Amino acid sequence: MDSMDIVGKSKEDASLPKATMTKIIKEMLPPDVRVARDAQDLLIECCVEFINLVSSESNEVCNKEDRRTIAPEHVLKALQVLGFSDYIEEVYAAYEQHRIETVDSLRAGKWSNGAEMTEEEALLEQQRMFAEARARMNGGTIASKQPDADQTLDG
Amino acid sequence: MRKKLDTCFPASRIKKIMQADEDVGKIALAVPVLVSKALELFLQDLCDRTYEVTLQRGAKTMSALHLDLDSAHYIERFEK
């Protein structure tokens, strides 16, 4: 695999925190199951590999569209290309949830009323978005217009 | 069937890993959120499948050997 050829500190720093990963793996397995150290390390490696795989493919999708910034829909497309279509629905749901939470925090800043009102509205909006999402999924296309495409992280 | 996780993956670390790849440039704000969720699903699948092997072998502790036996399926995907 290509990643093995890259020697250097940057790859080492870019790994997932062991303590967090150990916790997560424990939560994912039935209680009382012990995980040997070598298995833990290997699982973490697989995770990093997965991230690299999805990144790389997302980047390809992004380039093919002549876009400079990797957007959420590129990730979704990448998952499909890589054969992880099963994940798409839940990943999209997480994305929508994130959008709502982001909008919600912006709204809370503007209004003095506070959380309760926004939560109800956000819930309605979420349902509407899910319906839209399902319609889009069934149509087989993902909308290319993303409102937060302008939000980028400083690379 | 999926349990809800109490702990989540650090988005900043995911972003770091993604950008360790030289070809990768800018990443939209929401992207690590998506990758994080996909990773969660992937890891859960991996754990489930590996655990099956652990059970089959009658072991109480999951070892790397169990993972090796199972990862053949994933290696096929990776080598696409």
Residues 6+ apart with CB under 8 A from B52: B70
Instruction: Name residues whose C-beta falls within 8 Å of residue A60's C-beta, 6 or more positions apart in sequence.
Output: A78
Q: Could you tell me if B4 lies within 8 Å of chain A, comparing CB atoms?
A: no
% of chain A residues with pLDDT over 70: 74
Q: How far is B31 from chain A (nearest CA, A)?
A: 5
The complex's ipTM works out to: 0.87
Residue type for position B64: A
- Would you kindly state where each structural domain of chain B is located, as residue ranges? 11-77
Residues of chain B with pLDDT under 50: 1, 79-80
Query: By the 8 A CB rule, do B17 and A28 touch?
Result: no
Distance from CA of B55 to the nearest CA of A (A): 10
Q: Which of A20, A42, A46 sits opposite B10 (nearest CB)?
A: A20
Q: Which residues of B touch A72 (CB under 8 A)?
A: 28, 30-31, 34
Contact status of A100 with chain B (Cβ, < 8 Å): no
How confident is the model over A52-86, as pLDDT tens digits? 999 999 999 999 999 999 999 999 999 999 999 99
Q: How confident is the model at residue A109 (pLDDT cuts 50, 70, 90)?
A: low
Smallest CA-to-CA distance from A34 within A18, A46, A17, A22 is with: A22
Residue B18 CA to residue A10 CA, distance in Å, equals 11
Tell me the CATH architecture of domain B11-77. Answer: Orthogonal Bundle (1.10)
Contacts of A149 (CB under 8 A, 6+ apart): A69, A71, B28
In whole angstroms, what is the distance from residue A101 CA to residue A118 CA? Answer: 10
pLDDT value of residue A8: 47
- Assess A80–B contact: CB distance below 8 Å, yes or no: no
* pLDDT tens figures, B9-22: 999 999 999 999 99
More confident residue, B44 or A1: B44
pTM of the model as a whole: 0.71
User: Of B17, B33, B51, which has the smallest distance from its Cβ to A94's Cβ?
Assistant: B33
> DSSP of A64-130, one letter per residue?
HTT-SEE-HHHHHHHHHHHT-HHHHHHHHHHHHHHHHHHHHHHHHHH-SS-HHHHHHHHHHHHHHHH
